[in-house]
Chains A and B, each alone.
Chain A
Amino acid sequence: MIGSMRKREPQASEPVAQRQDAMQLIALVRECLLAGIARRACVVHLSRLGIDRLRPHHVRLARAALEPLAHADRARLFTLPNQSLVTVWRGDAKVAVATSKAAIMHLFADGDAGKIAPDMVWEELDIPGAAERLLAMAKALLDPATTSTPPAASGLPLDPASLSALEAQLANADVARFARRHPVCSRLADGSFRLRWEKRTLCIDELAESLTPDHAPEADPWLFLRLTRTLDRRMLALLAAPGKLTGARPFAINLNVSSILGPNFLRFDTALPAALRGQVTLDLLPADVLADPSAFLFARDFARARGYRLSLRSITAELLPVFPLARLGLDLLQLKWSAQLSTFDGMAALADVSKIMLSHADTPAAIAWGSAFGIELFQGYLAAEPAPHATLAR
């Protein structure tokens, strides 16, 4: 079944799901680029076939025609905002490619518009060789005015019992395959970006899809926050593994206050190479800080004494006046881009922009808005243009 690819079917809102797909495709391609990982991809350009061949049943049938590729290693299917389909997989899948291509060509071979050329609808690409082309294709489909839509949760929310089961599964799962790195860059005067550090995360969507496919962990925000403590422990253990951080670049990780004060952090701190001391940023959430303000103060001062930088993430326009950086005693505020920010007029009075990073900067509008306010640090799909073939040490 095509649904067995690591991709949920679009549910509540197709446009939203398709924009998410485009963003996820960009993320995947970028990860491959950064890590020097090879992948194959095929694009079914349904958008080139005209409106008469873009009806829902056409898209459905085209997805079904890609079924053989679903069994390829690490296969993922993306439906882009223009209805074109992109499949990315690893390794050799010649037979599946031939079968899928034949099915697609058969599907659209005859019609009122006449016979179509295979090249018009079917395109095969190599990653990283043709990564730039795929990136350009996906970026072009992101509507600058409306992107950065928060992911729509699909699936059941967690309850305490399912959370408990998920945490038990996490204890034995190999989370290394869900580890991701996202560049945080400064924007230079010429408009290009320079990598400052990497944000290291665990990909929650893929992890949830793998461990509890029927649930959307983020649908219940409080149980999800509870889950992040377990994820923190796994992430810290992953990073503290022998040799994991040898030669690593500066990085940031999401942590809860209680995680900074936990035994796993002490082990991570012991394992941190001297060269990275002072180069690691710990990203905290406002709700977590306020859950135990005394513990936050203790954790902040302890982490700072150990040479860590601290930042507050997921700050929106509403929260910007609530959390002044100086009052918090932190190094960085991560302002989350949204269209709402473009009408926010309190930036100049409120914030020291040299200590603000614009996150979720996935659109040109976000970059332009941030740059206009003098923000130099960006994190997002568009805010990273590493040199081709650049690889970062794992």
Chain B
Amino acid sequence: MKVFEHSGGTRPPSLTEQALHDATLRAGRSPLGRVAVVLHLSRLCPPGPRLHHLRIMRALLQDTADWYEGQVFALASGDMVLLCRATPPGIAPAIRAAPSFATDPFAMPDILGRLLRADTPSAASLVTIWPLESAQAELLVYTQACVERMRVHSGITSTKMPQRGLRGAKTVSIDEDFARQTGSLDAIGTLVNAAAISDLMQRQTAILLDPAAPQGAGLRPLFREITFSIGVLEERTASSGHATADPFLFRHLAGRLDQRMLDVLSQESGRGGPLDITRARPGEPGLDEAGLAPVLHLNLTLPGTLSPAFTRFVAACHRAKLPLGVEISLIEASANAKLFADARARIADAGLHLVLDGVSHVALQICRPWALQPDLLKLDWSVRLGDLPDNEQQSIETALAEIGPARVVLHRAETEAALKWGLLRGIRRFQGRHVDSMLGASRIIACPSADGCTLRQCIERAAATGRAGRSGCHNTDLLDAGVPASAAAPYLGGGTGRPSQVIA
């Protein structure tokens, strides 16, 4: 099957920008009743503009172009420009809306902005309308800048300018994409079955952060999550980005990885390595206020949770008196609610904690994941959380209130802004790269063997589960403890500010 994705045409990139500029000049000779609609898709939040944005927006603009005697220009930056008449020629306004989905050019900011509001902090800034009669100069400045940008890139650098538009969008067939993705899955499956997987896994510590606590008690490790490192798996199989490209294929892969991870963790028990669950006793790295928080978290699929391998692993945890948390993704739970209910019952029967993972802020606005009754819910931090429109912000606040901030872990907390956003809303549990940095900085300050160690090295060694990844560290006990109790300190709002300075 050869189904090629929509491409932007055959015109070389620099020619489209030039063609737009020329068309603007031509239209300017008789500007009356002519208008330019510029759709700034390049302003969408990464990873936007995505292929579907480009495809659908192109189709919508083309509808109007057909009806309003216009032309659509898809630029390399991702932006699209529609040059057309302000009213359809020779047709009374009362009739013109009836037979077509063509949008009145002047209604486009509202309609297109509404469609794209989930992907931009400011939908209003996505569309600019320049009536040629009054604003041709502004349009020419824009088109000239597009031409110049293309000229600079083609003249100065031999590397191609990043293409975000339809022309830059992949033109490989769906079949080729699929073949790469399934090839990646098979290669990863083979790798994890053949190799010593401790070098393919990673661990990350979540913390309980209380800025109001007295000095020395503001930050405590809460649990440590052990997962396969998808980045390492893709790197080792030379399939960067393919394993995670399709969410359904990725869930299939997750199912294949579960069994192997559970087997290995059971085997490593008592052997003294970083994957030895008997080393991670309560108190190392730390407990919550009730002293009952699990110290090890595993991310599992539903069949993995219901497998004999999981039963064996739970038995090993019980022998080691190690509390365990099981993380199940929201998409997995929603795919088979009956199986999820079985898994939840089994987790509860075993006295374990259930964590609902993979909850984005958008998911929080369209559904009520807390109705699945997890013990903890992991909300993925997004920079969008900081600039949501008021109604969406209110929706998030209401959801957090229903869940209870004490049951929320702000996941993927990569920046200090994430921690501040969470703390302002009563969230005290955090996990992510910024947390890694805080913990690393604390270790370096407290560690007597840290001379010559960089923060990055300390973070990477703490995340490693294989001996090779930890080599160079002379204080692996501290590495495994996450953070020394003596180093725990308030880090935000009136604290020492030291971690931020170190990270900077």
Most B Cβ at <10 Å: residue of A172, A221, A329: A221
Q: Interface majority SS on A: helix, strand, loop or mixed?
A: helix
CA distance A299 to B118 in the complex (A): 11
CA distance A321 to B337 in the complex (A): 12
Which residues from B are CB-within-8-Å of A220? Answer: 252
CA distance A236 to B117 in the complex (A): 28
Q: Please, could you name 27 A-B residue pairs with CB atoms under 8 Å apart, sorted by A?
A: A160-B182, A160-B185, A160-B186, A164-B182, A171-B1, A220-B252, A222-B249, A222-B252, A226-B248, A233-B3, A258-B52, A263-B5, A263-B6, A263-B55, A287-B332, A287-B335, A290-B330, A290-B331, A290-B334, A294-B118, A298-B53, A298-B118, A301-B115, A306-B101, A316-B337, A318-B337, A318-B341
List the B residue with the shortest CB-CB distance to A317: B337
Report yes or no: B335 in contact with A221, Cβ–Cβ below 8 A.
yes
Partner among A287, A298, A299 whose Cβ is within 8 Å of the Cβ of B119? A298
Report yes or no: A319 in contact with B249, Cβ–Cβ below 8 A.
no
Is the CB of B366 closer than 8 A to any CB of chain A?
yes
Is the CB of B137 closer than 8 A to any CB of chain A?
no
Is the CB of A302 closer than 8 A to any CB of chain B?
yes
Report yes or no: B360 in contact with A293, Cβ–Cβ below 8 A.
yes
Which residues from B are CB-within-8-Å of A318? Answer: 337-338, 340-341, 372
Which residues from A are CB-within-8-Å of B331? Answer: 287, 290-291
List the A residue with the shortest CB-CB distance to B360: A293
CA distance A171 to B367 in the complex (A): 36
Within 8 A of A (CB), among B13-66: 50, 52-53, 55-56, 59
Q: What 0/1 readout, one digit per residue, does chain B (307-339) give for beta carbons within 8 Å of chain A?
A: 000000000000000000000001110111110
Q: What 0/1 readout, one digit per residue, does chain B (174-192) give for beta carbons within 8 Å of chain A?
A: 0100110010011000000
Is the CB of B111 closer than 8 A to any CB of chain A?
yes
Q: What 0/1 readout, one digit per residue, does chain A (226-267) give for beta carbons within 8 Å of chain B?
A: 100000010000000000000000000000001001110010
B-binding residues in A (CB < 8 A): 160-161, 163-164, 167-168, 170-172, 220-223, 225-226, 233, 258, 261-263, 266, 274, 285-287, 289-299, 301-302, 305-306, 316-319, 321-324, 327-329
- Across chains A and B, the number of contacting residue pairs, with CB separation under 8 Å, is 133
- B399 CB to closest chain A CB (Å) equals 10
CA distance A291 to B248 in the complex (A): 8
Which residues from B are CB-within-8-Å of A299? Answer: 52
Within 8 A of A (CB), among B390-438: none
Name the 7 nearest CB pairs between A and B, nearest first: A171-B1, A318-B337, A160-B182, A261-B52, A287-B335, A293-B362, A321-B371
Is the CB of B291 closer than 8 A to any CB of chain A?
no
Q: What 0/1 readout, one digit per residue, does chain B (448-472) give for beta carbons within 8 Å of chain A?
A: 0000000000000000000000000
CA distance A221 to B330 in the complex (A): 15
Is the CB of B369 closer than 8 A to any CB of chain A?
yes
Report yes or no: A167 in contact with B1, Cβ–Cβ below 8 A.
yes
- A257 CB to closest chain B CB (Å) equals 9
List the A residue with the shortest CB-CB distance to B186: A160
Which residues from B are CB-within-8-Å of A261? Answer: 52, 55-56
Which residues from A are CB-within-8-Å of B332? Answer: 287
- B469 CB to closest chain A CB (Å) equals 29
Most B Cβ at <10 Å: residue of A274, A287, A317: A287
Is the CB of B96 closer than 8 A to any CB of chain A?
no
Report yes or no: B55 in contact with A291, Cβ–Cβ below 8 A.
no
Partner among A286, A306, A328 whose Cβ is within 8 Å of the Cβ of B334? A286
Which residues from A are CB-within-8-Å of B251? Answer: 222
Partner among A285, A322, A329 whose Cβ is within 8 Å of the Cβ of B372? A322
Q: What 0/1 readout, one digit per residue, does chain B (144-168) give for beta carbons within 8 Å of chain A?
A: 0000000000000000000000000
Report yes or no: B368 in contact with A327, Cβ–Cβ below 8 A.
yes
CA distance A50 to B146 in the complex (A): 86
CA distance A301 to B57 in the complex (A): 12
CA distance A233 to B2 in the complex (A): 12
CA distance A257 to B174 in the complex (A): 16
If A258-B52, A327-B366 touch, does A301 touch B114 (CB 8 Å cutoff)? yes
Which residues from A are CB-within-8-Å of B116? Answer: 298
Most A Cβ at <10 Å: residue of B50, B247, B330: B247
- B285 CB to closest chain A CB (Å) equals 32
CA distance A318 to B178 in the complex (A): 33
- A225 CB to closest chain B CB (Å) equals 4
Partner among B53, B179, B336, B371 whose Cβ is within 8 Å of the Cβ of A164? B179
List the A residue with the shortest CB-CB distance to B1: A171
Which residues from B are CB-within-8-Å of A306? Answer: 101
Report yes or no: B115 in contact with A223, Cβ–Cβ below 8 A.
no
Q: What 0/1 readout, one digit per residue, does chain B (89-126) give for beta carbons within 8 Å of chain A?
A: 00000000001010000000001001111110000000
Report yes or no: B340 in contact with A322, Cβ–Cβ below 8 A.
no
Report yes or no: B367 in contact with A226, Cβ–Cβ below 8 A.
no
Which residues from A are CB-within-8-Å of B5? Answer: 263
Is the CB of B365 closer than 8 A to any CB of chain A?
yes
Which residues from B are CB-within-8-Å of A292? Answer: 247
Report yes or no: A323 in contact with B367, Cβ–Cβ below 8 A.
yes
CA distance A292 to B334 in the complex (A): 13
List the B residue with the shortest CB-CB distance to A300: B366
Which residues from A are CB-within-8-Å of B52? Answer: 258, 261-262, 295, 298-299
Which residues from A are CB-within-8-Å of B175? Answer: 167-168
Partner among B101, B336, B362 whose Cβ is within 8 Å of the Cβ of A294? B362
If A293-B360, A302-B56, A318-B341 touch, does A287 touch B334 (CB 8 Å cutoff)? yes
Within 8 A of A (CB), among B247-261: 247-249, 251-252, 255
Partner among A168, A170, A226, A322 whose Cβ is within 8 Å of the Cβ of B246? A226
